[in-house]
Structure formats: structure tokens, C-alpha cells
Amino acid sequence: MFQQFFTPTVQHTLDLMGIFVFAISGALLAVRKNFDIFGIAMLAEVTALGGGLFRDVVIGALPPAAFTDLGYFITPLGAALLVFFLHPHVERIQSAVNVFDAAGLGLFCVIGTTKAYTYGLGLTASAALGLATAVGGGVLRDVLANEVPSLLRWDRDLYAVPAMVGAAMVVLCIRFDALNPFTAGVAALTAFALRLLAMRYHWRAPRAWNRRSSGVEVDEATT
């Protein structure tokens, strides 16, 4: 499976890179919400590790990797400290952070799907957990920050859909016995590219067909 395609050192490095970038996004939201240092650290940890924790608990991979590898726990704290002291500079490179976040999305949806399948889940359930691995931390982040999760908002660029596509590609490769380093990489790159295109062209999911009115129209009607 995908975890076996790289040496443990390379796999660990990739995991930490994805965790670090997700933690940056959580810490930045905490700063915008005017949270204190504890709140910044909490949102960084939850965003970085929430999806993986959920996956590991569901598949029975206990204790979760986040509690057995100190690096997984320390990395979000490092990201939180970086944002705490240098958030104006981090905000200025937000576009670069978004690119790395998209890379983490592609990587984690593939890793999550293959790990779930390795632990005996079916193809559909494995794809669902791959999606949860990629986006679960962001959902928890938004809930803790008292916001509607970004992946549920029509006015946000596609985020869950690229992860769904990547996970679906992985399970199709498993189904036809075609999962290998190349096809796993293609799945991750496809999710990555779709997320970048969604940010570039502001692709959004469709809303309900034949809506009677939008929120803006309702507001205007009541003023």
C-alpha cells in the first residue's frame, strides 16, 4: 500500500509537512478570531491532527499515531508559535500556504484511504475515511471557532470535492489491482491540481435548484 511506497523516514517527513501546513491554517484562523496563545495552539493541533485521529479511532489503529509519535504533537505547536510571533508575515505569504495546504489535502486523502483499506474496511468506507482524513481537521477547526465549516459553505472554493476525487481514484485502483507508487502519486496530484484550479478559478459546488431567493435577496427585502 501507499505507506510502503516510501521509506519510513520519507513517509514521516511527508506527514509532518502536511501536519505543519494544516496547523498554520488553524493558527491563522485563531489569530483572526483574537484567540489567546492557548486558543491558537488548540486550533493548530485540532486542524493538523483531527482528521487522522478520527480515522485511526474508527479503524481501530490504537493508540492513534498522534499519541505515539511526539513529532506529530510537537509540529503543530511549532506552527502555532510561528504564527503567534510572526502572523503578519505569514499572512503575506497566504497564497504559498494555500498551495502547501492543497498538497497536504492530496497527500492525506490518499494516505487515509489506503490505511483504512489496510485495516479491513471496504472500498466505499475507505474512500469516506480518506476524505475525513483530509478535511476532518478543518471541520473541527471551524466548529471550535464558531463558524460554519468551510466545506459546507457555497461561497468557498471547492475543498472536499478534490479530496473525494483523490480518494475515489485510490479505491478504483485497489478494485482493479492497479495501486502502485505511480497511480497513488497520480491520485494525490489530481486532488492537488483540482484544489489549485478551484482556488484559481473560484470553482464552487452548485446550490439547490430553483431556489426562491438567496440570503442576500432576503436581507434586501427586509430592509
φ, ψ (nearest 5 deg) of residue 148: -65, 130
Side chain identity at residue 43, one-letter code = L
| The three cell numbers locating residue 56 | 485511526
b or e along 113-152 (b: 16 or more beta carbons within 10 Å of the residue's beta carbon)?
A: bbbbbeeebebebbbbbbbbbbbbbbbbbbebbeeebbbe
Chain CA centroid to CA 141, Å: 11
Of 179, 203, 184, nearest to 111 by C-alpha is 184
148: in domain = yes
What pLDDT digit, counting tens, does each position of 158-201 carry?
999 999 999 999 999 999 999 988 899 999 999 999 999 999 99
pTM for the full predicted model: 0.85
pLDDT, residue 40, reads: 96
Taking residues 114-140, what's their average pLDDT?
A: 95
Lowest mean pLDDT among 60-64, 85-89, 144-148, 166-170: 85-89
Cα–Cα distances in angstroms (integers) from residue 44 to residues 16, 27, 66, 183, 190, in the given order: 13, 5, 13, 31, 26
**What length is written for the chain?**
223
pLDDT, residue 213, reads: 52
Residue 44's domain comprises 2-206
223: in domain = no
pLDDT, residue 122, reads: 96
34: in domain = yes
**Contact call for residues 51 and 34 (beta carbons, < 8 A):** no
62: in domain = yes
Average pLDDT along the chain: 88
pLDDT, residue 3, reads: 52
Q: Which of 202 and 151 is assigned the larger pLDDT?
A: 202
108: in domain = yes
132: in domain = yes
Tell me the three state secondary structure of residue 96: helix
Q: Which of 205 and 203 is assigned the larger pLDDT?
A: 203
Structure confidence at residue 206 as a pLDDT band (50, 70, 90): confident
175: in domain = yes
Structure confidence at residue 221 as a pLDDT band (50, 70, 90): very low
| The three cell numbers locating residue 39 | 486558543
Structure confidence at residue 128 as a pLDDT band (50, 70, 90): very high
pLDDT, residue 195, reads: 95
Q: Which of 91 and 70 is assigned the larger pLDDT?
A: 70
Those residues whose C-beta lies under 8 Å from the C-beta of residue 150, and which sit 6 or more positions away, are 138, 142, 156, 159
214: in domain = no
Number of separate domains in the chain: 1
Q: What percent of the chain has pLDDT over 90?
A: 65
Cell 510561528 -> residue: 82
**Contact call for residues 197 and 203 (beta carbons, < 8 A):** yes
